[in-house]
Amino acid sequence: MRLIVAFFMALASFLTVAQEMTEMRSEFFYCTLNDGKTMEDVREQSKQYGEFSKKNGTHYTQAILIPMHAGETNYDYITWGTWPDGKAMYDEWGSFANNYDSAAEEVTGGAAGTCRNSIATFFNLVARIPMDATERDKKRPVQFSRCSLNEGVTLDEVAAQEVKNVKQMEDAGFKGLAIAYHVPYMGFAEPDFDFVMNYYWYSFDARAHSAQNFGAFAAENPEGQAAMEELISCGGSRSFVFETMFNNLPDTEE
């Protein structure tokens, strides 16, 4: 199914250890439920497409985002699909468009929903702090913020500082966190930002620990936050509940 996707910009089953930025591709579809349909219908539709993708050998993963603290929205859910690279993106789209029954209907939401807006991004996984699989939640919190580069700053410089900051956080006992950057690719009119910063926690406990302890950590390590403020300015943060529907990417983990 193609009700897909939006991770946000992130990230669940396709996050592996990042030593430097990786440039994957993501797509986001903003959707409303059709009359009489529920999120269970959306999940079932997505998983049916996952079986098709797996059978046809395409490298693609899909998740659903449900608004948590996202302000006023004109959608019920976002589907987020990700490929390991540009070739995989168009291989999968080709398989879907040419070989999947009712592809034209599915791309706009299928029987379960109606999707009216879609975008694609370059998805750069920057850094992460691992978490044992037994401690991870099935449904996980994610957060997105729009960011602009300060004059003369490059995204590589921001990522390098992010890696330093995340290492400090790991040393301080934080866990279960991944950070990715989404750079506009297609479907954007004239974006007034340079990239979207995507925080992804492997569990709500990890998010709660961060909420409880990050203030004190930042006060004890002010240089990290100060360095980021010299590089970028961010705002408009929104949070969602992330749930993986299927993962047909090679060499990835939940």
Q: How far apart are CA 49 and CA 138, in angstroms?
A: 20
Q: How far apart are CA 65 and CA 112, in angstroms?
A: 15
Examine the pLDDT at 14 and tell me if it is beyond 80: no
Examine the pLDDT at 10 and tell me if it is beyond 70: no
Q: How confident is the model at residue 190, as a pLDDT?
A: 87
- pLDDT tens-digit profile of 103-146? 556 555 678 999 989 999 999 999 999 999 999 999 999 999 99
SS (H, E, C) 67-128: EEECCCCCCCEEEEEEECCHHHHHHHHHHHHHHCCCHHHHCCCCCCEEEEEEEEEEEEEEEE
- Residue showing tokens 């302890």: 213
Pick the closest to residue 216 from 175, 245, 174 (CA basis). Answer: 174
What is the fold of 22-247? Answer: Alpha-Beta Plaits (3.30.70)
- pLDDT tens-digit profile of 184-197? 999 998 899 999 99
| Phi-psi region at 152: left, alpha or beta (left = phi > 0; alpha = psi -120 to 50) | left
Contact between 141 and 93 (Cβ < 8 Å): no
Q: What percent of the chain has pLDDT over 70?
A: 87
Mean pLDDT rounded to a whole number for the chain: 89
Rg (CA), the chain: 18
Contact between 227 and 130 (Cβ < 8 Å): no
Q: What is the mean predicted confidence (pLDDT) over 18-36?
A: 82
Q: How confident is the model at residue 20, as a pLDDT?
A: 46
Examine the pLDDT at 11 and tell me if it is beyond 90: no
Examine the pLDDT at 54 and tell me if it is beyond 90: yes
